[in-house]
Amino acid sequence: MTELMAARMQMGSSLAFHIIFAVFGIGMPLLLLIAEGLWMRTGNDAYRQLARTWSKAFAVTFAIGAVSGTMLAFMLGLLWPRFMEFAGGIIGMPFSLEGFAFFIEAIFLALYLYGWDRLSRRAHFACVIPLALSGFLGTFFIISANSWMQTPAGFTLNEAGRITDVDPIAAMFNPSFFPHYFHMLFAALVCVGFAVAAVYAAGMLKGRRDEYHRKGLAIGLVVAAVFMPIQIFTGQQMAVQVTQNQPLKLAAMEGLFKTTKSAPLTLFGIPNVDTMETEGGIEIPYLLSILAYNNPDATVQGMEAFPRENWPNPVIVHLAYDTMITLGSALMLPGLFALFAWRRRPQWLQHRLFLLGMVATGPAAFVVLEAGWITTESGRQPWAIYNILKVEDSVTSATGILPWFITFSVVYVLLSVFGVLILLRMAERRRQRLVAAEVAVVSGDD
């Protein structure tokens, strides 16, 4: 294995791990805001119990995300020094500001956790607002840096290849920033909503049909169902900006080798670079031209229009993209079904088949998240900074990266195991308290 491949695998696995916990930092504060707000409004203690349980679970995921995020920061400097040398003066500001957002989130999370039974209801509820905003801001700054790698702006390269006329604000608000930001933001809210709903659906399958579990499932599902259509709309906006700024990525996403008028959208299939065809795919006529240009007669450039050495791997990009759009679209169904059942057949919301489907939405949402990330990052290859700096020119000249990749992978496995064990232990203690409370109530009635 080459040092470049080891560095790419280490960075890729680290990002794939970190993004799972990062989305909880974005989405969980919103659920805390909803649950505690409902408690203050209705006085129903089930909402207070949900908020208190979620705050503890959030603390665990936040801690793991902080560790993996710190490791990523070191990797950028150690594995990709040439990238940081080139980009540091341009996108250093959003990286720094993200650090401030992280510390604000950490401070108010600590206040929120410590403030149970110590602060007034309103003061405690007020702690959630900066907690949520700091999560949104942290995403804002990180996505501004990542989108800049997709569509670099805010600087000029002189004839000697040196950077001049740096404008960090223009770099942050680069051409693809807003579609990237909103797509990631709503993806996080959808993922957390489905994850929470899946946990409580699993509890209900085990016989816990109490108000606590029903309301936990309802809040998670409502959050996911509300933001899922918005997420699909932002995905369409992403397709438009990719068409405008990264047409080669669009061609790889669709497995489109030849420039085509009235281009179809190709689902599934395997791109074959030898035959220049996507074999076994299902074509939906005109749909790619409509999505890319809002015109069924528009011509879409194929991969053949670009130098072969600049092609990303079309198999990886196309399969990841297919996974994202097909599974992501399927996640619209639980919300639509729940809306129908709530109005017509409320008993269906506690049916075993529905609960099994809700359990599946948790991991499915994160598969969609990872597939979207792979599409975005692999589609940019072989560029670290699109059309400016290649990945192979960004990597460190140091050797011995493979042992570090193995070491970091072990660390991530251990973090995952310990995190799951802690959350399971918390869930078991919570179950025991609920059982004890029910026993106490029954004994009192007797």
CB distance 185 to 26 below 8 Å: yes
CB distance 108 to 127 below 8 Å: yes
CB distance 221 to 55 below 8 Å: no
- Counting the structural domains of the chain, the total is 1
Task: Answer whether residue 109 is part of any domain.
Answer: yes
Relative orientation angle of helices 45-79 and 401-445, to the nearest 10 degrees: 170
What average pLDDT is seen over the chain?
Answer: 87
At position 105, the amino acid (one-letter code) is E
CB distance 34 to 226 below 8 Å: no
Render pLDDT for 384-414 as a digit per residue (tens, 0 to 9).
999 888 988 888 887 778 887 888 788 888 8
CA nearest to 216, candidates 338, 15, 420, 49 = 49
Alpha-carbon distance 140 to 182, whole Å?
A: 9
Task: Answer whether residue 423 is part of any domain.
Answer: yes
Task: Answer whether residue 358 is part of any domain.
Answer: no
Task: Answer whether residue 301 is part of any domain.
Answer: no
Render pLDDT for 22-70 as a digit per residue (tens, 0 to 9).
899 899 999 999 999 999 899 888 899 999 988 888 888 888 888 888 8
Most confidently modeled range among 155-164, 202-211, 338-347, 368-377: 368-377
Segment (H or E) for 278: strand 277-279
Fill in the DSSP letter of residue 163.
E
Mean pLDDT, residues 312-319: 92
User: C-alpha 261: how far from its chain's center?
Assistant: 33
Tokens representing 317?
């990009």
At position 136, the amino acid (one-letter code) is F
Task: Answer whether residue 326 is part of any domain.
Answer: no
* pLDDT in the model for residue 204: 87
Q: Is 226 exposed, middle or buried (0-12, 13-18, 19+ CB in 10 A)?
A: middle
SS3 content of the chain, % helix, strand, coil (to 5): 75, 5, 20
Tokens representing 410?
């072990």
pLDDT band for 434, please (50, 70, 90 cuts): low
* pLDDT in the model for residue 446: 53
Mean pLDDT, residues 437-446: 57
Task: Answer whether residue 249 is part of any domain.
Answer: no
Task: Answer whether residue 60 is part of any domain.
Answer: yes
- The HSE-up count of residue 407 (CA atoms within 13 Å, CB side) is 7
Alpha helices in 163-269 (DSSP H): 168-172, 177-205, 211-245, 247-254
Task: Answer whether residue 402 is part of any domain.
Answer: yes
Report the percent of the chain where pLDDT is more than 70: 96
CB distance 415 to 181 below 8 Å: no
Largest CA distance in the chain: 88
pLDDT band for 439, please (50, 70, 90 cuts): low
Residue 152 CB contacts under 8 Å (≥ 6 apart), including other chains: 90, 171, 174, 385, 386, 387, 388
pLDDT band for 441, please (50, 70, 90 cuts): low
CB distance 74 to 31 below 8 Å: no
Relative orientation angle of helices 352-378 and 314-330, to the nearest 10 degrees: 150
Q: Could you list the residue range(s) of the whole structural domain that residue 388 is in?
A: 3-240+380-445
* pLDDT in the model for residue 230: 92
Q: How many CB atoms lie within 10 A of CB 92?
A: 15
β-pair partners for 163? 157
Segment (H or E) for 389: strand 389-390
CB distance 257 to 303 below 8 Å: yes
Render pLDDT for 240-268 as a digit per residue (tens, 0 to 9).
889 889 999 999 998 889 998 888 888 88
* pLDDT in the model for residue 365: 93
β-pair partners for 389? 385
Q: How many helices (H) and strands (E) does the chain have?
A: 13, 10
